[in-house]
Amino acid sequence: MKSTTSFTIHRYQQNQLTTTDDLLAIEEPLEIQLASSGQLPRSISITMRTPGQDEHLAVGFLFTEGILHEPSQIERVQMTDENVIQVYLAEGVTVDTQRLERHFYTSSSCGVCGKTSIEAVRTQSLPTIPPGEPGIAAALITGLSDKLRQQQQVFAQTGGIHAAGLFNHQGQLMALQEDVGRHNAVDKLIGQAFSAGWLPLHQHLIMVSGRASFELVQKAAMAGIPILVAVGAPSSLAIELANEANMTIVGFARHQQFNIYCGAERILA
């Protein structure tokens, strides 16, 4: 699927107005449906996303929502058209249908919105993250932003897309996903790790190209990721949840500096 599209624009620079083509990141809805054998698919979410890696997005969403727990619970995943994806449960697998009602629609910029949604997340049992592990050299953290940016192919073309990168404790980039929605980029990344059988990710860290929101912390915690590094700032609610989940949150990680907001014992001078 195409992730960018060309538009004709008018550009003003150096006191001149010219006509040229520009690339934009595509934003389209994806309806995620869940089904069991012999039952009609049930719509559980519509998210605005950048097309591509939709299977990882759907599976990652279902995992970080606490609906799926193991890859073996999935019989198959199929696209019925370019904007509808169906996840079929394996025979005998049942899911918590009440959890499916947490939210139906998510925008590319928001994700979880509203008091009811936040309460539903906080009542969800988060995995236990080992304390103090892994230890990461501070100098390694300062280089992650450049590594992430160098691999952001769609961002390089459009300048209008988020990225999430999974790094091991030695600073090696293991996987990267891009999307107009930062929560979608993280779901794609975790969905990729889930499908590959990498979870829990206790010896890894995740870096996001924007801010560290409550929902991104929740998704990282579900995958057992102990360290979340953000180019931007965290929110107060994100830090509260990170403390509860025994996570480390690093913000403003750019220009060879960063702030540690909680879990400082994992960052080694």
pLDDT digits (tens, 9 = 90+) for 204-261: 999 999 999 999 999 999 999 999 999 999 999 999 999 999 999 999 998 899 999 9
**Residue-wise pLDDT tens digits, 157-215:** 777 789 999 999 999 999 999 999 999 999 999 999 999 999 999 999 999 999 999 99
The domain 136-268: what is its CATH number?
3.40.140.10
C-beta separation of 147 from 171 below 8 A: yes
pLDDT exceeds 60 at position 112: no
- The sign one gets for the Cα dihedral 187, 210, 159, 17 is positive
pTM of the entire predicted model: 0.90
Active site residue 110: yes
Cis previous bond, 134, omega within 30:
yes
pLDDT-wise least confident of 12-26, 121-135, 189-203: 121-135
Distance CA 54, CA 31 (A): 10
Q: What is the mean pLDDT of residues 122-127?
A: 69
The predicted pLDDT at position 157 comes to: 77
Residue with tokens 């230890």: 135
Kindly give, in sequence order, each residue whose CB lies less than 8 Å from that of residue 226, ignoring residues fewer than 6 positions away: 129, 130, 133, 134, 202, 204, 205, 246, 247, 248, 263, 266
Taking residues 120-137, what's their average pLDDT?
A: 81
The ranges of the chain annotated as CATH 3.10.20.10 are: 28-122
Average model confidence (pLDDT) across the chain: 88
Task: Name the band, by pLDDT with cuts 50, 70 and 90, for residue 114.
Answer: very low
Which residue do the tokens 């929560």 mark? 183
- Using alpha carbons, select from 35, 34, 11 the residue that is nearest to residue 21: 11
**Are the C-beta atoms of 204 and 221 separated by less than 8 Å?**
no
Who contacts 178 (Cβ-Cβ below 8 Å, separation ≥6)?
A: 3, 50, 152, 153, 154, 155, 161, 162, 163, 185
pLDDT > 70 in the chain, percent: 89
Half-sphere exposure of 193 (CA within 13 A, CB side): 32
Instruction: Please check the confidence at residue 102 and state whether its pLDDT lies above 60.
Output: no
Domain 28-122 has CATH 3.10.20.10: yes
Where in the chain do CATH 3.40.140.10 domains reside? Answer: 136-268
List 24, 79, 110, 118, catalytic entry: 110
Q: Which helix H or strand E contains 106, and what residues bound it?
A: strand 105-106
